[in-house]
Structure 1
């Protein structure tokens, strides 16, 4: 496992990260003891870039990571996020808050839950339409001055927003959905991050698990799995998108690897400044993801992959309508 510079602000971390959301929320049932074993195994394998958020649970995922960090904190790059508001009485409702006073209080609350003194990478999870990005980032910059945060991140922002933010305080990383079936970052975001020395952190690099080939039917999702509400997994979209999975499986077979490893190797091949964070709560899949680092794609391989997964290949939006309004802001 290589350790690389995450952006240009002095943060170093593993080339492959671990998305921890599904350990506590959104993807069906969860088991804390099993997740803690997975986190321990991640550390053993050198996967030391762990990604969470205050809204996962909410709060439960940060509290889970606090347990896993005991005794190994100095070896882990902890990334968490703020800015998405959830409402206990309306589980499906989401709000945003990027006001300076909230930036400060949210950070202090995350530090307390994680039981650490400094957050290595602190993201604005979604831009608050009611607060100029310059105002939010200025407040985030004060957290760096206070020693509570090492690097600043943004999630699902437009190139225009990124440039405005970076002019106020250097941005370390931008997190966006990026995979074989979500290639929107190629429309300017990747190029801008490379130009400015900003890392790109793809979440859902395996298409929310779909590109692994493990999900065969809509019914494979548990009743409380949020993917049931996402257009790409519904009705005819599911069937159309599975055609891509078949093609990925065929290429992977030729390459002598698993579909998930081919899909992840493709993301890794897009640049040294890219740090994918595939999420899993199972040791088996974690180990498979790490093995993707050994899959080397030739120019011919990349050409074949691009042929079956051009931009716009997916049928259906990434999120339901309300959530789509908050991405690429």
Structure 2
């Protein structure tokens, strides 16, 4: 497993991190706590020590599952544990942004309890909150860091301007953003700004919610409640164009004796400024595939070929904006 230094820290993390949004079950058709535990165990066997979760994933369920397994397996010290803060929800499951100092503190305290740990390695503000000054949110995280409740903090889904404001107020070490072969909006200014400010990048959605796994067909449908049922990329007529790109990318992977998923994640890891790619998995077999994405690099000609295929087949790309919680 490749390892990379997280800017602004003295720590290295695995280049692939285990993403646990699916562990929460909400919007992914439920989850099996026992199977998630086996998945974490397999990740550690592969050398994956970065585990990323959040309070809102299953409204606490993801953190509870991760925390219980780490505690029972007695492996907390082998893991770089990252979670988030700044999203609130009501009894109906309606989510709203709240990065107020009070909310950040309550989120961190609740995460410490659910994750059964005395300190968090990384806490990220999940989404920017226009109602709260960024400096106030950063100051709240700095206070919690001084109290020993967390080692480092970062942000998530921040624009280039918001990231610059955050770094002027403190030292966020990471910006977690959506990034994959099909969703490249951050290349315009967010990724260059991260490099300029020496802020790490955790890329989520590495295989674009399964689209880059190659397992879908034009007739594939998604049930109500599955996040892909509301993603415009998975709806006609766009779905066919994305699948056409997938069909052209697949031979490039096979020429390397790799899967399409390996190709997509390797492409991500080869992008300058990316610290880690988050690999969502809820079974050992799913995370086991991660090993094939490391230990090699794409040649310049292959990178150019991938760009050409995506450009020719997906002429009006759709971003991940549909996932953003209401402002």
TM-score (norm 1): 0.93
Task: Give the aligned partner of residue 3 of structure 1.
Answer: 3
Pairs within 5 Å for 1:171-186: 171-186=172-187
Distance 1:5 1:188 in 2: 22
Q: Secondary structure at the match of 2:180?
A: coil
Distance 2:4 2:258 in 1: 25
**How far has the Cα of 1:226 moved from its partner?**
1.5
**How far has the Cα of 1:13 moved from its partner?**
1.4
**How far has the Cα of 1:218 moved from its partner?**
6.2
Task: Give the aligned partner of residue 261 of structure 1.
Answer: 262
TM-score (norm 2): 0.93
* Pair 1:82-2:81 in alignment: no
2:318 corresponds to which of 280, 300, 316: 316
Task: Give the aligned partner of residue 133 of structure 1.
Answer: 134
Distance 1:171 1:228 in 2: 34
Q: Secondary structure at the match of 1:175?
A: strand
Task: Give the aligned partner of residue 147 of structure 2.
Answer: 146
Distance 2:62 2:268 in 1: 26
Task: Give the aligned partner of residue 23 of structure 2.
Answer: 23
Distance 2:20 2:140 in 1: 26
Greater mean deviation of Cα atoms: 212-221 or 240-249: 212-221
Measured against aligned partners, the alpha-carbon deviations of 1:117-139 in whole angstroms (never above 9, x if no partner) come to: 11111010011111111111111
Q: Secondary structure at the match of 1:277?
A: strand
Tell me which stretches of 4 or more aligned residues in structure 1 moved more than 6 Å.
Answer: none
Q: Secondary structure at the match of 2:201?
A: strand
Measured against aligned partners, the alpha-carbon deviations of 1:275-300 in whole angstroms (never above 9, x if no partner) come to: 10111112222121221113421111
Query: Which consecutive residues of structure 1, in runs of 5 or more, have no partner in the other structure?
Result: none
**How far has the Cα of 1:65 moved from its partner?**
0.4
Q: Is the 8 A contact 1:218 1:233 kept in 2?
A: no
Distance 2:19 2:311 in 1: 25
Task: Give the aligned partner of residue 33 of structure 1.
Answer: 34
Q: Is the 8 A contact 2:23 2:58 kept in 1?
A: no
Q: Alpha carbons of 1:325 and 1:223: their partners in 2 closer, same or farther (altered >3 Å)?
A: closer
Distance 2:273 2:231 in 1: 31
Q: Alpha carbons of 1:101 and 1:30: their partners in 2 closer, same or farther (altered >3 Å)?
A: same
**How far has the Cα of 1:2 moved from its partner?**
3.0
Distance 2:267 2:133 in 1: 35
Query: Which consecutive residues of structure 2, in runs of 5 or more, have no partner in the other structure?
Result: none
Q: Is the 8 A contact 2:97 2:326 kept in 1?
A: no
Task: Give the aligned partner of residue 195 of structure 1.
Answer: 196
Greater mean deviation of Cα atoms: 240-249 or 71-80: 240-249
**How far has the Cα of 1:29 moved from its partner?**
3.0
